[in-house]
Structures are given as structure tokens and as C-alpha cells.
Amino acid sequence: MKLTILGSCSGTEPMPGRHQTSVALETGGKLFFLDAGENCGYQSYIQGLDILATDSVFISHTHMDHTGGLPHLLWNLRKLCTISKENEDRMRGRKIRVFLPDLDVFDGVCKMLRGSEGNYETVFSLEPHLVEDGPLLDGRLRVSAFHNWHLGDPAPGEPWKSFSFLLEAEGKKLVYSGDFRDFSELRPHLDGADLILLETGHHRACELCKELVDSGAPFGRVMFYHHGLEILGDFEGELALAREVLGDRVDFADDGTEISL
């Protein structure tokens, strides 16, 4: 299993050399996206990922810094089909699954795509799925969702709109936090994680490291992503504080960071 950080920044003002949140996961000859920030379609292609191997896109919540690149990513898939017969044949009849906690957003993305050239007529199809608590995907990659309180409690009768993901493949376990409110939301899912991807746009990394240690959860490595201004203002200093707690088991992501499990 290999992960590539396509965008390491939170929803700040534009930052030189950083783009908003997206992670690509490669396993079993397929490509999966965790969130789809502004630059994911460009960065994944330029970095040499086989985006025609895209199987699914998982959106943790529909804030712009997690979805702004989704139309462009899906548009790129169509565009690549038009540049060679080989690409077209690879994609013919395929279904690209898009998991979101709000399918109205998917409808909006599709309207944008149809407003571009060709009315988004493709040899493949897009298949929307609602993100809810529990299993989302069960194959060589297993993906489950569990809600968090980043967007607060939903109104009575309304669904949860913000999620974290648990992913398992090749005998490895990965926790992807999405944006969350409190460490306690993640704790039940951390035991045995080989890698924990934790956002820092709403938290201080060194404090989360202390909570991890205090929890007693057995885990492997921690990668912080979705950086906010606190980390971006003192990247090396904040990383040093985190490493005082977890040593070399912790790192801060840059755009382009690759992780092999």
C-alpha cells in the first residue's frame, strides 16, 4: 500500500507550494482518493500516478478545501480518454464510485461537468454513494466510515455530514481523521493502526501526540496533514515539539510526501 499526499494544507488563504487536502492511496493495482482538494487532479497526474486506475473517491465532508478539486479530477478522467484509443479502451464500461456525505454536492459537481465541452459524455460512468456510518467498500481495500463532530450535531432527522475513515488492505490498517473536533471521536478506532493520518487545521500537533500516548493505543506511525496557520507559521518548531513526544514515529506532510506501508 502506498500513499501520496497531494495536498497538505487546510482551508487557509493560498500558500506557496501547498494545496488543499487530498491523499491518493494505491493498492491492488487501483487508485483511491481520500478527499479532493483543489489540486488533486493535476498533482496526481504530474506526479506519475496512474489516474486511469481510479476506483473510488471518498469525501470526508463537503467543505471546499476537501472538494474543490473533485470536478477537475473527474473532468481529467474524461479528458484522458479522448487522447488515445488505449486510454478509452481501459476506461470503457468502468464505474468510478464517488462517496460523499451530501449527494446534493455530487449533483452540483455533475452540473459543472455537463457545462463543460462534450456534456461530460464518457465511456465510463460515475456512481454516487452516500457516506454513512459503517462499511463503504469491501474488497482488497476495505473502507469504513464513522461520524465525527467537526460540523456539530445534525438537526433531528438529519444525517451526519462529517466523517473519518478506517481503511485496511495488504494486512495494514490506516486511520484517516478528516476534520474532527475531539480526539475521543477517533480513539475507538486507533488500536493496531499502522498509520494514523491526523489533521492539524483545528488542533495542535504536539497536544494530539500527548493524547495518543495517554490513550495507551498501540499504533505505528503518525503523519500530520491539513496544516493550519499555526504549523505553517513555524513548521520546523512545531514538528520538533511533536517529536519530543513521539520521536521519529511522527512527521508532518508536504505536498508530494509518499508513504509506503
Where in the sequence is the domain holding 179, given as residue range(s)? 2-260
Listed in order, strand segments (DSSP E) in 59-170 are 95-100, 125-130, 134-138, 142-147, 163-169
Q: What is the spatial distance between Cα 251 and Cα 72, in angstroms, rounded to a whole number? A: 29
CATH code at 122? 3.60.15.10
Check residue 117 and give its pLDDT: 87
Mean pLDDT by 10 residues, the chain (261 residues): 97 94 98 97 96 98 98 97 96 98 97 95 98 96 98 94 98 98 97 97 96 97 96 96 98 97 95
Per-residue model confidence (pLDDT) at position 21: 98
Number of domains within the chain: 1
Q: Which pLDDT score is estimated for 72?
A: 97
136 in Cβ contact with 58 (< 8 Å): yes
Q: What's the pLDDT at 7?
A: 97
DSSP 3-state of 162: coil
pTM: 0.97
